[in-house]
Amino acid sequence: MRTNKYKYVISAFLVSAALSVTSCTGDLDTVPLDKDELVSEVVFGSDIAAYQQSIAKLYAGFVIGGNSGGDSDQDVVGIDGGSQASFLRVLWNMQELTSDEAHCAWNDPGIPDFNILSWGSSSPWIKGSYYRLFYQISVANAFLRETTDDKLAARGCSADVIAKVKTLRAEARYLRALCYTQALDLYRNVPHVTENSKIGNVLPDQIMGPELFTYIETELKECEADMLDPTVGFSANYGHANKAANWALLSRLYLNAEVYAGVKKYTECITYSNKVIAAGYQLEPVYGDMFRADNHLSKEMIHPFRYDGDQTMTWGGMTYLLCMGSSDMQTATNAKGAWQGVRAKSSLLKIFEKESNSTLDSRRSMLRTELTANVEIVDQSTFKDNGIPVAKFYNVNKDGSNPGSAEAYVDFPYFRLGEIYLNYAEAVLRGGTGGDRATALKYINDLRKRAYTDDSKAVIADADLKLDFILDERGRELFYEAQRRTDLIRFGKFTSNDYVWPWKGGSATGTGVASYFKVFPIPSDDMGTNTNLIQNEGY
C-alpha cells in the first residue's frame, strides 16, 4: 500500500477571481462546485497543511476533474467529467488516435475526426483539452498570487513554513510550465496569463509560439533551484515534481524546439538529458512492469500522474486506458470494464515487424493479434474483428496480485528514463553537442536488450543508428504513452503523403492531409469571446 502523506483528494482550496482570468471569460465557468470550498482568508494561515492541500488541487487536476473525484462534480462546467474534462484521456486521444498507432470505433462527436485527421474548432475534445489546460494554469496562478513573501509574512508564517512554501511555489511554476508546453505543442499560439495578470473581466493577449517557448524555458530554469532534489524509486515525496522532472521537461521541450520556435536546441536537449541520467534513475528490468499497479516503486519513473484507486475514481485517465481493450483481456488486466472501442492500427504492428527478429520483441509489443480476425480496420465504426487489441497497462502488481480494487492504481509515466535515452540519441543524431554516438548507441541497445529475449539479436550496430530508426524505436518503446503525434510532426511524417497509415485523411489505405493539421484550432467559442485572438491557420 502507498503511504504517502501527499493526497490528491482534498477538502478545501482557494478559488479566487484569478480562476476567471482565462481567454474564455464567459464560456469557461471555473466556479467553486464544492460548497465547502473556502476563500483565501480562511484557507491560508500560518500552517503548512493548508498550502500542501492547495498545491494538491493543482496535481489533482491532471488525474481527476473535480474535488470529489468521480465524474459528477467538475472544475470546468459544461465538460463531461469522464471524457473531455480528463487531462490524460483527452491528451491520449489527441496524441494517439491522430497517429499511426490507435483507432477508436466510437462515434462520440469528435472521435471519428481524430481517426481521419479532419477536425474543426467546435470539437468537444479540443475544447475540453484547451479549457482543462487553462484551468490548471489559473489554479497555479492563484496559488502563486497567494503565496508571495509579503502575504506569508502578513500571516505570521514561520521560517520553516516559508521555506517549504518556496518549494511548493517552484512546483506550481513547473506544473504551469508543463501545461503551457502542452498548449504550445497542441495549439501553438494561445492566451497568456500569469500570477501578475489583471484579475477580472480582462481579455488576455495572445502569445505566439516562439515567445511562449522562451517563456517556458525561462520559467523552468528559474524555478529549478527551489525544487526538490531527485529521488529514485518510491519516497515520501513521490508524486511531487522534482529537479529531474524539470530537466526531463526541458529535454522534451528542447527536442521539439525547431518545431515550436524555429530554432535548433539539440545541444540543450543533450545537456538536460544528461542531468536526468546522472540523477541515478534506472530502467525497469522487465518492460511490462513499468505499466503495472505498483509502478510507483519503479526506479525508471521520473514524473508520474498518480492514480490511487478509490481516491482517484474517474472514467477518464488510467481507467480509460485500462478499459478500452477487449473483454478477453478484462480479467487479466483487472480493469473494471471492457469497452472494446480502441484498437491498434496495422501500421503499429508493421513498426514491430520491420525487423527480422521482430517475433522476439514480445516483451514490448503487447499487441494481441490472436484476439482479432482482421488486423486491418475495415469498418471504422465497429470494433469487432477490426484492428488489434492492446494490453499495455495492467491494474495488477508485479507479483501477479491485485491492488485494493479494480479502480485504477496504475500511475501514468509522464516522464520515464526510457524516453530520456531516446531524446539523447535523437539529439546526437540531429547534430547536438555534449554527447556522442557511442553513448547514444549504448542507451538504445540498453532499451532493446530489455525488449528482446535474446541480447545478441537485440543489439544494433552503429551503422543502424539513424533518424528513421529512432522514430521506429520511439514507436516501439513509447507506444500508447501519448507522444506519437508530436514525434511524427518532428520527423515530418504527420501530415505528409510520404508516410501514411490506415484511415489517415479518410482513406482506408491512407493519404496526406493539409499541413495546418499539425496544430489544433483554438476553440470557436473562445475565438468569439476574446477579440485579442487570431485563429490558427487553416481554421
CATH code at 186?
1.25.40.390
Q: What is the pLDDT of residue 33?
A: 33
Indicate whether 212 and 348 sit together in one domain: no
Based on the domain organization, do 157 and 299 belong to the same domain?
no
Q: What is the pLDDT of residue 28?
A: 41
**Residue 196 belongs to some domain of the structure:** yes
DSSP collapsed to 3 states, 115-161: HHCCCCCCCHHHHHHHHHHHHHHHHHHHHHHCCCHHHHHHCCCCHHH
**Least confident range of 372-376, 409-413, 427-431, 440-444:** 372-376
pLDDT in tens, 457-485: 789 999 999 999 999 999 999 999 999 99
CB atoms within 10 A of CB 198: 11
- Per-residue pLDDT averaged across 521-536, rounded? 96
Q: With a threshold of 0.75, does the pTM exceed it?
A: yes
Grid cell locating 216: 517556458
User: Which one is predicted more confidently, 438 or 329?
Assistant: 438
Any idea what the CATH number is for the domain that residue 479 is in? Answer: 1.25.40.10
Residues 97 and 49 in one domain: yes
- How many other C-beta atoms lie within 10 A of the C-beta of residue 309? 18
In the predicted model, what is the mean pLDDT of residues 358-377? 82
Are 237 and 221 part of one and the same domain?
no
Rounded Cα distance, 248 and 238, in Å: 16
70 and 203 part of one domain: yes
| 215 domain-assigned | yes
- The pLDDT mean for the chain works out to 89
30 and 59 together in one domain: yes
3-state secondary structure of 285: coil
Do 31 and 98 reside in the same domain of the chain?
A: yes
List pLDDT tens digits, range 84-106. 668 999 999 999 999 999 999 99
Question: DSSP secondary-structure letter at 265?
Answer: -
Q: Does residue 2 sit within a domain?
A: no
Question: Confidence class of residue 354 from pLDDT cuts 50, 70 and 90?
Answer: confident
Is a pLDDT exceeding 60 seen at residue 216?
yes
Tell me the pLDDT band of 16, cut-offs 50, 70 and 90. Answer: very low
Instruction: Kindly state whether residue 100 falls inside one of the protein's structural domains.
Output: yes
> Tens digit of pLDDT for each residue in 192-212?
999 999 887 889 999 999 999
- pLDDT category of residue 230 using cuts at 50, 70 and 90: very high
In a domain, 514, yes or no: yes
**Of 360, 376, 406, which marks where a domain is finished?**
406
Q: How many angstroms separate the Cα of 319 from the Cα of each of 65, 405, 483?
A: 13, 12, 19
The per-residue pLDDT for 303 is: 98
Query: Is residue 275, in this structure, part of any structural domain at all?
Result: yes
Element (H, E) at 207: strand 206-207
Question: Strand, helix or coil at 16?
Answer: coil
Same domain, yes or no, for 464 and 528? no
Q: What is the pLDDT of residue 1?
A: 39
pLDDT at 288: 96
Q: Does some domain include residue 298?
A: yes
Q: Are residues 250 and 220 in the same domain?
A: no
Q: Which amino acid is at 342?
A: V
In terms of residue numbers, what domain contains 448? 233-306+411-494
Pair (459, 523) in one structural domain:
no
Q: What is the pLDDT of residues 274-289, one digit of tens each?
A: 999 999 999 999 999 9
The tally of domains found in the chain comes to 3
pLDDT bin (cut points 50, 70, 90) of residue 59 is: very high
Are 131 and 210 in a shared domain? yes
Instruction: Encode pLDDT of 143-176 as tens digits.
Output: 999 999 999 999 999 999 999 999 999 999 999 9
Q: Band the pLDDT of 361: cuts 50, 70, 90.
A: low
Which of 390, 406, 422 is the C-terminal boundary of a domain? 406
Q: Please identify, among 352, 381, 406, the residue that sits at the C-terminal boundary of a domain.
A: 406
282 in any annotated domain: yes
148/242 same-domain check:
no
Which ranges in 36-119 belong to alpha helices (H)?
40-43, 48-60, 87-92, 111-116
Spell out the alpha helix ranges (H) of 313-435: 317-323, 330-333, 346-353, 362-365, 417-429
